């Protein structure tokens, strides 16, 4: 591992000759920095949602816990988000092949399906209200609104970045090669949000009490 090797370097030994001579030097590009920043952002986001899951689990251990009603709409939303991620990957592949039409198709479908996901989430909130479940003192409902709301905010953030890339594709008429990096960053972020949603959905909202099972295995419930 490079990092481990670097951390075990002997710093007091000076370099003879020119530092880095003979080694390929990479120019620092916006894409590589962006990718690194997104990875760190994943770390921050993962901790945020991990803490929410732990808080959810802690609240589930109380005797008065009332679980969420099962919503088929959430399955549909999940499929929309998976499609969105697949479409963005399509755009990435198009970019790598220098096929601007594939980039356009992928970007457009990815954006539309992401908006469909957001609309579906709003509809899920509305359904809860109509079913009479919208009690603020029901912790399962409050957690559902909070967690899906924060996840949706991350998607909205992604859509802003998507909008900037889309502007380059449609308004500025950039070639595939010029926007390859931006599309890759968007898709990278999309995949993370998908994985995050799958974890949240699978553990908390899929209606099969997976978190409850984990808590039971741990002897907490």
Partner 1 sequence: MADATHDDVGYVPPAEIEEQDLYHAKSWITKYVFCQDAKVIAIQYSITAIAIGLVGLVLSWLMRLQLGFPEAFSFIEPDDYYQFITVHGMIMVIYLLTALFLGGFGNYLIPLMVGARDMVFPFVNMISYWVYLLAVVVLCASFFVPGGPTGAGWTLYPPQAILSGTPGSDGGIILMLVSLALFIVGFTMGGLNYVVTVFQARTRGLSLMRLPLTIWGILTATVLALLAFPALFVGAVMMLLDRILGTSFFMPSIVELGEHLSYGGGSPILFQHLFWFFGHPEVYIVALPAFGIVSDLISVHARRNIFGYRMMVWAIVIIGALSFVVWAHHMYVSGMNPYFGFFFATTTLIIAVPTALKVYNWTLTLWRGDIHLTTPMLFAIGFIVTFVNGGITGLFLGNVAIDVPLSDTMFVVAHFHMVMGVAPALVIFGAIYHWYPKITGRLLDETLGKFHFWVTFLGAYLIYFPMHYLGFVGVPRRYFELGDTQIFDQSVGDLNAFISIVTFIVGFAQLVFFFNLYRSYSKGKEAGPNPWRACSLEWQTAETPPGHGNFGKELPLVYRWPYDFNVPGAKEDFIPQNMSQSEAFPKRKAAAKTSRSRAAKK
Distance of CA 83 to the CA centre of its chain: 14
Shortest distance in whole angstroms from residue 25 CB to partner 1:
5
CA-to-CA dists, residue 219 to 44, 66, 164, 212, 214, angstroms: 29, 19, 48, 10, 9
Closest CA to 108 of 188, 175, 163: 163
Shortest distance in whole angstroms from residue 206 CB to partner 1:
22
Per-residue contact string for residues 36-75; x = within reach of partner 1 by CB under 8 A? xx--xx-xx--xx--xx--x--xx--x-x-----------
For residue 118, give both structure tokens: 């957001």
Any residues with CB less than 8 A from the CB of 55 and at least 6 apart, and which?
A: 143
Q: Residue 135: count other Cβ atoms within 10 Å of its Cβ.
A: 12
* Residues binding partner 1: number (CB under 8 A): 48
130 binds partner 1, rule: CB under 8 A: no
Contact in structure between 162 and 111 (CB atoms under 8 Å): yes
Span near partner 1 by CB under 8 A; candidates 139-147, 167-175, 179-187, 197-205: 139-147
Choice between 10 and 101, CB closer to partner 1: 10
14 binds partner 1, rule: CB under 8 A: yes
Q: Which residues in this chain contact partner 1 in the complex, by CB under 8 A?
A: 3, 6-12, 14-23, 25-30, 32-33, 36-37, 40-41, 43-44, 47-48, 51-52, 55, 58-59, 62, 64, 136-137, 139, 142-143, 146, 150
């Amino acid at each position: 591992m490079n990092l481990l090797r670097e951390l075990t370097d002997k710093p007091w030994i000076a370099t003879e000759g020119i530092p880095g001579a003979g080694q390929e030097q990479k120019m620092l590009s916006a894409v590589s920095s962006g990718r690194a920043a997104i990875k760190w952002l994943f770390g921050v986001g993962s901790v945020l949602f991990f803490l929410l899951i732990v808080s959810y689990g802690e609240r589930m251990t109380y005797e008065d816990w009332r679980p969420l009603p099962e919503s088929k709409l959430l399955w549909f939303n999940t499929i929309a988000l998976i499609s969105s991620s697949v479409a963005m990957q399509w755009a990435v592949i198009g970019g790598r092949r220098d096929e601007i039409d594939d980039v356009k198709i992928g970007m457009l479908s990815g954006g539309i399906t992401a908006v469909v996901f957001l609309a579906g989430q709003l509809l899920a909130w509305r359904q809860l209200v109509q079913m009479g479940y919208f009690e603020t003192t029901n912790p399962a409902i409050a957690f559902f609104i909070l967690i899906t709301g924060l996840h949706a905010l991350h998607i909205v953030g992604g859509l802003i970045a998507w909008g900037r890339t889309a502007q380059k594709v449609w308004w500025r008429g950039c070639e595939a090669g010029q926007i390859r990096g931006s599309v890759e960053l968007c898709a990278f972020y999309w995949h993370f949000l998908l994985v995050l949603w799958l974890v949240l959905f699978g553990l908390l909202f899929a209606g099969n009490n997976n978190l409850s099972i984990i808590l039971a295995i741990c002897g907490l419930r």
